[in-house]
Amino acid sequence: MAEKVGVYICHCGSNIGGVVDCPEVAKWARENLEDVVVSRDYKFMCSALGQDLIKDDIAKEGLTRVVVGACSPHLHEKTFRNASKAGGLNPYLMQMTNLREHVSWVTADKAAATGKSKSLISGAVHRVVHQEALAPMPVPVNDHTLVVGAGIAGIQAALEIADAGYHVYLLEREPSIGGHMAKFDKTFPTLDCSACILAPKMSDIDQHENIELLTYSELESLSGYVGNFKANIRKRPRMVVEPDCTGCGLCIEKCPKRVVDTEFEAGIGYRKAIYRPFPQAVPKIPVIDVENCTYFVRGKCKACEKFCPTGAVDFKQVEEVREVDVGNVILATGWKPFDARRVSQYGYGRMANVFTSLEFERMCNSAGPTDGKIVMRDGVTEPKSVAIVHCVGSRDENYNPYCSGVCCMAALKFGHLVLEKTDAEVTSFYIDLRTNQKGYEEFYARLLDEGMNFVRGKVAEITDAARYPGEEGKIILQAEDTLLGRQRRHPVDMVILMGALEPRDDSKELGIKVGVSCSMDGWFTERHPKLDPVATMTDGIFVAGSCQGPKDIPASVAQGAAAAARVVGMINRKSVMVEPVVASINDEKCSGCRICNTLCPYGAITFDVQKSLSGIETALCKGCGTCVSGCPANAISGAHFSNAQIEAELDGILFEIQQGAATGEGAPLAEKGGRHE
Amino acid sequence: MTFAYYPGCSLEASSEAYDISARAVCERLGIELQEIPDWNCCGATEASALGYLSGHALVARNLALVDKSLKDVVAPCASCFLNLKKTDKLMKEDRKIGGKLAEALEAGGLAYEPGSLRIRHLLEVVHRDIGHDRIQQAVVRPLTGLRIAPYYGCQVVRPVGDSGDADDPEQPQAMDELFSWLGATVVDYPVKAHCCGGHMTQISTEMSNELLRRLLYTADEHQADIIVCACPMCQLNLDAYQGKVNNAFNTAFDVPILFFSQLLGLALGIEADALGFGKEIIDSKDVLAAKLDQEETAETPSAPRRTRRVSRSLPMPKKD
Amino acid sequence: MSDISALSTEPSFLDEVIDATSGGDRLRSCLQCGTCGGSCPNGSDMDHTPRALFALIAAGEREEVLSADAPWFCVSCYACTVRCPRKIPITDLMYTLKRIAAREHFAKKQDAVALAENFNRFILRYGRSFEFGIASRFYLTRKLGSIFSLGPLGIRMMRHGRLSLTPSKIENLAQLHAILDKARELGGES
Amino acid sequence: MSEPVFEPRIVGFFCNWCSYRAADLAGSARLKHAPNMRIIRVMCSGRVDIEFILKALAGGADGVLVAGCHPGECHYVEQNYKTIRRVAMLKHALKPLGIDPNRVRLQWASAAEGPQVAAAIDEFVDELRELGPLNWTGQWAGRGEECREAVDKIAAEHKEAMEVMP
């Protein structure tokens, strides 16, 4: 039986109405398009009155389908679905088409705009009659959660969820939790001691009954879907039996092998071959670095084993893989520091007294290699002058186009520390100083008062080639002082390079494991940059902290908490509704060719060997439709985006085009379609 | 291996020594050079200052004249090298201009397929294509005892239209490695890729003198016996104008400036006269005689930047 | 008037410069960081650093830019181009400014123009450059004063066989001219 | 200007996440561009069935533009890579069908690239103006006889092959 379609053209004030002849479009639809029983135009369809038009017509005219020509569906699709629902129509029987963003706002020529609107409406009408009533599907939610990464963002998220009374698996690749924050001395802009605020949280994690800490471990694979994930976790061998170890540290004391610590000490300090990254490490259990351990390299030593009072050392330990069931996953894998060697004109690695920001953080830390003393590479001499170089590897298309966000404030913090701990003068070379959070601009003002110098100009090169008297034995920064428009050479004893924050090398890899995409830069992509910043396109997977983009501590903590809130919300609901836009396979038509099996990145398509048929795990399907268009037998159909629906929309559009051709009036075709005038 | 050879104007006149030594070295290393027939000037840095298309057309003619059976053009002159590369890249990447240049070539009955030639600098060919093993085998007269400041200048190392595998444009290594293979002591010459002033010697002696002074001063600070060049302009400026620099700043620089190919030739056992020695204005005979084979004494002061290692000293960042 | 031209919808000086440079549109993304000005070996002697020139171009200060000496002090060392965080072809832009300035006789006072013109004159005549000719003619026409100071150098060069007094000439000069004429015609060069 | 310009008719398949939003952005930014484009929204460029494109060309469109997220930024992880392959293969097949492959265009656009989308549409319109009207079905009109002959010829050639063995 024929459907009864109602068409509603929105003027959006003059936004659409000012360019598109809405009454004409409505009239044309009524007269030219099959199944259209009602066709109206109205000033504001999204207004209550506009929505009432739809509801009433559904009741009075017995509409079975609704087409709305207005703004972008991304704005008001929900609105008009609800209106249809309120009128007693299944919301998925409403089709919206975009006459504003895609027509009136981008077209100068009115005739052209009107013609284009007609064809879009025609497309929508043809499509809507093929649409089917759909209902969202409920699935249960497991109340365990996996948090990947135990930096400050992951720690915050884990604690929030655990405190809400739910079990958390907290995964950390390094031997200890704490992340980068554990390496810092002070935090901007308040200058409170990083360890003092982090350490308590770390021991909370250690003691929390709802948190199961999995350190020295990585996520091997993730399968399943929202509410019902299975995670495989690979635990590397510490060579120390955790339950037996008391963390007394005797083994570390006795270990004869000293190694440069490129991880925690950023390369300016040493550790033993059996070590604990830092005294307050959580857990306290040490690990053996098998690359450097004398026993593993040469086959003899075993000092640690000899001296261990509880016999906890076990050189035969092997890695283990375990599987955990979780309902939600939070990614908080953080960032990695930019390799300053790549900017060879800055001479890092060539000139001893050029340091990276992370090296300097460790130097300032009273628990660091220099006991907090600011000294040159020789380890004793205090610098008389220090230069801080901004944007090293940031805002630079040769390295990373983005702004790393935190460096400006960290540079101010460094400036303060230098002025506080030494008699040196400090000069910062910046392009723009970005201090746009609470208390940040005030901190900048404070540093001006404290006598830190600022030069606006990106440093062109750093050299030890003296040119003028007074430059001998110094490191010279050459830059243009852009506020003076003059080239400037600035000799100093010590340089600090504010290196960029970069995505982890394996972030893309991890993204593919869990079905989260990465931006071109390699940061995880959130569902919506403004309105949904911690969710991802994969339901049940959330992001927090710097793995989603450079962030400072406050922002990371906020995101950790936000992600936790989303997870707790999910758990409390017990079950979640998933959009019904999914694919399904018609067994009659499926030839078992398995072409579709390889097309799905979510592993939603399974193959039944007995029946030799492919099948789709509905809850896993995200509805992209790639398998639908890939099936040679047309056996797969995509709900709400079926071949019939899309081809009908195409027919509708072509219908107007052919009609236009016939009448010669076809939309833009008479006048030259208005271009940038 | 056979390469098309583009000597360029300077190598015909002021820098004959470069041409002679380049040919000699290549012959010794089994590189056959086929000079481009009737090649013309590349326009240096001057032609494109007045005409855009004509500037590139000048270069394009040379590319078009290369025997189509050859895949590589080798140019010893930095400016020639860069100009050839730039024009080739432009023709390849900017369809509009590429088309016009093709049309211009056609007017002369010539044609060139952009990207069909690899534009190489002599230094790269020796360093990459011949490489460590074959060079070391060929060395008969190591340059032991000689402190070398490798000076690359600008246009050899700036990656204009290069693939990613080009040498570091800021701290290039090719010459450093080459001369360490030859047994010389290579000083870490921080200004190795700074500019010698190019044509500034013709325009403003004040400015060019200063640029040259910087290079000489740093070489002196690092106790270099000789500065080696891979560019005729660099060599000419440092060599011919060294006296003027001394007058201008009353300094007493007296560093011989040689082409890398000359010293390489010496190490390969080629006779000095067959390498154009003696054409340099600051004579290099005495230095070579004095230094060669004098094993470097232990307490040769090294570059000032090296901080003396105290037990408390912090580790340096690892290489690579 | 310049500010007006910057605001009006007429193709601005910025557009003019960009259109005359392959890849020049990168100039729009300049963030005025001064890497170019800091990198330039002659940066301390220029009346405007490249960065400042770009600001003036954006502001439509045509005359001031074209009469600047900065482009003529560019030695084509490409340090700025390699380092520019916005990948702006700065050296090429300097060539563009030189060309416009030379075409519109803004730069008569620049020695560099004379040198370039000289150089090109010899290329046209011989197909190759002729250092001795260029140098002597250049000094005779421009720097009569300093030619004597140059004498001894010339003599030393000659003694070391580094100054050929006879230019070498290519055979197919006609072909070269045909190519260059066509190029000039296509490029609308005078 | 009176002299009529050929206005190509273009069908676009835009993915819901990046390119459709980019087109929205072009709107919010009021970036005027040629009105020849008709956009059909799909969830992912991977949903674009090659048949859709052929159908559009057969049905009177002079060109088809498929738009998706940048490679590596696909909201479905990697589906746009499949689009690359499919469109490449289609373009390959178009020539023998008498269609210039440039009538099908693949366009990447992140949700932030409204200007790029607007520019791409204008550019595509200009390219199609160069190519002129497609009128694909028209090309075959009145050539039914030819086709039948061709088919018969082939049938004859493969006579025995076509016989079903008893």
Q: What is the pLDDT of residue D163?
A: 54
C-alpha span between A541 and A330 (Å, rounded): 6
Query: Does B305 contact chain A (CB < 8 Å)?
Result: yes
Predicted ipTM? 0.80
Quickly count: other Cβ atoms within 10 Å of residue A443's Cβ: 20
Mean pLDDT, to the nearest integer, of C177-187?
93
B133 Cα to chain C: minimum distance (Å): 32
Q: What is the pLDDT of residue D4?
A: 72
Q: Would the pLDDT of A669 be above 50?
A: no
Mean pLDDT, to the nearest integer, of A460-464?
97
Q: Would the pLDDT of C74 be above 80?
A: yes
Q: What is the pLDDT of residue D2?
A: 47
CA angle A321, A323, A325 (to 5 degrees): 160
Residue with more model confidence, A513 or B27: B27
The per-residue pLDDT for range A80-98, each reduced to its tens digit, is: 999 999 999 999 999 999 9
Q: Would the pLDDT of B211 be above 90?
A: yes
C-alpha span between C132 and C157 (Å, rounded): 10
The per-residue pLDDT for range C144-180, each reduced to its tens digit, is: 666 666 677 777 887 888 877 777 889 999 999 999 9
Backbone angles phi, psi at A89, to 5 degrees: -110, 145
Q: What is the pLDDT of residue A620?
A: 82
With the CA atoms of C136, C137, C141 and C145 taken in that order, what torsion angle do they form, in degrees rounded to the nearest 10?
0
Output the average pLDDT for chain A: 93
Distances (CA, A) of A626 to A134, A342, A630, A637, B198: 20, 40, 6, 10, 59
Q: What is the pLDDT of residue B202?
A: 83
B286 Cα to chain A: minimum distance (Å): 28
Mean pLDDT, to the nearest integer, of B2-12?
94
Q: Would the pLDDT of A519 be above 50?
A: yes
Of A293-302, A650-659, B168-177, the range with the lowest mean pLDDT is A650-659
Is residue C89 a contact partner of residue C22, using CB atoms and an 8 Å limit? yes
What is the share, in percent, of chain C residues with pLDDT greater than 70? 85
Burial of D28 from C-beta contacts in 10 A (0-12 / 13-18 / 19+): middle
Helix B260-267 to helix B174-181 angle (10° resolution) is: 20
Query: Does B301 contact chain A (CB < 8 Å)?
Result: no
A51 Cα to chain D: minimum distance (Å): 23
Identity of residue D32: K
The per-residue pLDDT for range A335-346, each reduced to its tens digit, is: 999 999 999 999
Q: What is the pLDDT of residue C8?
A: 52
- CB-CB: which of A344, A461, A473 is closest to B168? A344
The per-residue pLDDT for range A553-569, each reduced to its tens digit, is: 999 999 999 999 999 99
A350 contacts B188? CB cut-off 8 A: yes
Mean pLDDT, to the nearest integer, of C1-16?
65
The per-residue pLDDT for range A121-144, each reduced to its tens digit, is: 999 999 999 999 999 888 899 999
Mean pLDDT, to the nearest integer, of B6-15?
91
Which chain B residues are within 8 Å of A262, Cβ to Cβ? 318
- CB-CB: which of D38, D79, D118 is closest to A626? D79
The per-residue pLDDT for range A241-295, each reduced to its tens digit, is: 999 999 999 999 999 999 999 999 999 999 999 999 999 999 999 999 999 999 9
Mean pLDDT, to the nearest integer, of B156-185?
86
Q: What is the pLDDT of residue B320?
A: 61
Q: What is the pLDDT of residue A668?
A: 38
Q: Would the pLDDT of B125 be above 90?
A: yes
Chains that touch D (3 or more CB pairs under 8 A): A
Chains that touch A (3 or more CB pairs under 8 A): B, C, D
Which chain B residues are within 8 Å of C180, Cβ to Cβ? 54, 57-58, 104
Q: Which helix (H) or strand (E) holds D48?
A: none
Q: What is the pLDDT of residue C5?
A: 44
Identity of residue A537: M
The per-residue pLDDT for range B277-290, each reduced to its tens digit, is: 999 999 999 999 98
Reading the block at residue A231, the tokens are 């995670």
Q: What is the pLDDT of residue B18?
A: 96
**Which pLDDT band holds residue D138 (cuts at 50, 70, 90)?**
confident
Q: What is the pLDDT of residue C147?
A: 60
**Which pLDDT band holds residue B95 (cuts at 50, 70, 90)?**
confident
C-alpha span between B74 and B25 (Å, rounded): 14
Q: Would the pLDDT of A509 be above 90?
A: no
What is the share, in percent, of chain C residues with pLDDT greater than 90? 56
* C 92-121: CB under 8 A from B: 95-96, 98-99, 102, 111-113, 115-117, 119-120
- Please give the distance of CA A252 from its chain centroid, rounded to a whole number: 38
- CB-CB: which of B218, B309, B319 is closest to A465? B218
Mean pLDDT, to the nearest integer, of B71-96?
93
Q: What is the pLDDT of residue C1?
A: 42
Q: What is the pLDDT of residue C80?
A: 96
A321 Cα to chain C: minimum distance (Å): 45
Q: Would the pLDDT of C107 be above 80?
A: no
The per-residue pLDDT for range B220-260, each reduced to its tens digit, is: 999 999 999 999 999 999 999 999 999 999 999 999 999 99
What is the share, in percent, of chain D residues with pLDDT greater than 70? 93
Is residue A374 a contact partner of residue A415, using CB atoms and an 8 Å limit? no
Q: What is the pLDDT of residue A517?
A: 76
B174 Cα to chain C: minimum distance (Å): 18
**Which pLDDT band holds residue C106 (cuts at 50, 70, 90)?**
confident
Backbone angles phi, psi at A557, to 5 degrees: -60, -45
How many Å from the N-terminal Cα to the C-terminal Cα in chain D? 71
- CB-CB: which of C113, C163, C182 is closest to B13? C163
Beta strands A192-193 and A186-187, pairing class = antiparallel
C-alpha span between B275 and B23 (Å, rounded): 9
Residues 6+ apart with CB under 8 A from B236: B10, B14, B15, C162
Quickly count: other Cβ atoms within 10 Å of residue A479's Cβ: 27
**Which pLDDT band holds residue A665 (cuts at 50, 70, 90)?**
very low
Q: What is the pLDDT of residue B162?
A: 60
What is the share, in percent, of chain A residues with pLDDT greater than 90? 87
Output the average pLDDT for chain C: 86
Query: Does A487 contact chain C (CB < 8 Å)?
Result: yes
Q: What is the pLDDT of residue A528?
A: 80
C153 contacts B202? CB cut-off 8 A: no
Q: What is the pLDDT of residue A471?
A: 94
- Residue ranges of alpha helices (H) inside A168-327 are 194-207, 250-254, 294-298, 303-307
Is residue C78 a contact partner of residue B85, using CB atoms and an 8 Å limit? no
**Range among A205-214, A647-656, B296-305 with highest mean pLDDT value:** A205-214
